[in-house]
A and B are shown apart, each in its own frame.
Chain A
């Protein structure tokens, strides 16, 4: 049975977590390792149901460190692999996420965010991991973080996370929230999706990455998290080798912003004010824009689908065009700081911050605009 057949009906009414699994399988994911945690557990459950039907592998590990480690191991056999977790587990994964960056291992990590710090609010949504997703591991690095604002997008952006992860051979994180993970909406499942195969496998050249040699093909690959030359051999004392490696790892992501960055916009043509949000916060953001339009105001809305790498140029240009940028986030202000930095004083930047699982109310956003 192929993945599409296993998924079933074309139109379904499902939770975001399930949509994420559908996206992964359509994108070619054949290995999942995870550890139960609210509100991401449904992903592990659905993977354990579907993967054996299509000849894939699903395993419950002893913890989240084991899960991400197994995913990286699987990826080196050539498999497309994924894990899913929430804040506490995501924290545990950080060392290995850095390892995946350093070893240029493609893999997808889903973080269904809940309220933190610590055990916090297991069953409530939050966007408190935005910084952790970007900066959680040690050292200088860049990776790709996508944020879906609907159940349909949870599927679509999981597919995109896999494809980008393969293209740039970097971990891609699907950063979603309890509210999308647990909400049910209608989704339409495509019959086929664009599939990115792993670049530079064996000897063929690729623009961004050195050759990838899946285990078992006689290539005698040496993979290490130590600073290494392009052939993988460690070289831990030469500052030039480290400098070159780290800058290349960052550049392959940042210099491909045009390919990686995506945002949806509404009512932007002559907007003087714009609501910028992502994930579940984009829903009240768009609702507020619509309500403002009904009241004759020119309020656009931008829904970011790519959070990291952060698109400074995009926001610098936006700040030239509008007077006021309202950032809506379920945290004390995370992307807000980067947006304000990019705006460089050319537009007012205001934060609408909610915590505790509360998604901003559209009317509360309108208050700020008034």
Chain B
């Protein structure tokens, strides 16, 4: 099965991708969304919007961010159903798994989302982060994997965005995690990446 999502770049047709990243507080969900949007817009010259849950919705541990990436200016910055969903908790999966377009992609961390549909792409982000001796970088592993499975932003742009977003002492480990995520996606053997 070719799990890489084709990116429509036909003449005259606007390219637009709606990405949702969800998990729980402390997993760096929001910063992952910010880095993704920043990479696409500031460093890849595209357009992006990033919104996130605030208030009661963001209490009780849940965390979610929506990123839209487009090659034209984005009118409507909100996501009903997304094209791609990244889940780092069972709770988030339960809440958002249904809100995806037909044929959309769902990426999950199988250690955290134990119950998931068969067509989900498993990326062992937290296990990889533990290997890197920093559980907090699972979000970057996911971003790396996402960038290969769904190549809407370049790896270079992600690296730039990371180095301009996180404090200096985390840049190296975050970029290493990003690369591990890319490698994980590639090792899935899912066709051209």
Contacts and interface: CB of A to CB of B under 8 A. Distances in A.
Interface of A: 9, 11-13, 38-39, 121-124, 178-179, 182-186, 283-284, 286-287, 290, 359, 361-362
B84 to A, nearest CB: 18
A286 B76 CA distance: 8
B52 A182 contact: yes
B160 to A, nearest CB: 11
Contacts of A124: 55
A286 B54 CA distance: 26
Given A12-B42, A183-B50, A123 B76 contact: no
B172 interface: no
A330 to B, nearest CB: 13
Contacts of A287: 75-76
Contacts of A184: 34, 37-38, 48-51
A13 B37 contact: yes
A256 to B, nearest CB: 31
Given A39-B54, A183-B51, 7 more contacts: A12-B42, A121-B55, A179-B51, A183-B50, A185-B48, A284-B76, A286-B75
Contacts of B52: 182
B147 interface: no
Contacts of B119: none
A13 B75 contact: no
A187 to B, nearest CB: 9
Interface of B: 34, 37-38, 41-42, 47-52, 54-58, 74-78, 80, 161, 164
B153 to A, nearest CB: 12
A179 B77 CA distance: 9
A283 B77 contact: yes
B76 A13 contact: no
Contacts of B78: 359
Given A12-B42, A183-B50, A186-B48, A122 B55 contact: yes
B75 A290 contact: yes
B137 to A, nearest CB: 21
Nearest to B38: A13
Contacts of B76: 283-284, 287, 359, 362
A11 B164 CA distance: 12
B56 A183 contact: no
Contacts of B164: 9
Contacts of B57: 123
Contact of A186 (B41, B55, B80): B41
B75 A284 contact: yes
A46 to B, nearest CB: 15
Nearest to B75: A287
Given A11-B42, A13-B41, A123-B57, A183 B77 contact: yes
A184 B55 CA distance: 17
Contacts of A361: 80
A359 B77 CA distance: 10
A39 B51 CA distance: 13
21 contacts: A11-B42, A12-B42, A13-B50, A122-B55, A123-B55, A123-B57, A179-B51, A179-B77, A182-B52, A183-B50, A184-B38, A184-B48, A184-B49, A185-B50, A185-B74, A185-B77, A186-B42, A283-B75, A283-B77, A287-B76, A361-B80
Nearest to A361: B80
Contacts of A283: 75-77
A9 B38 CA distance: 12
Contacts of A9: 42, 164
A185 B55 contact: no
Nearest to A184: B50
Nearest to A290: B75
Contacts of A183: 49-51, 77
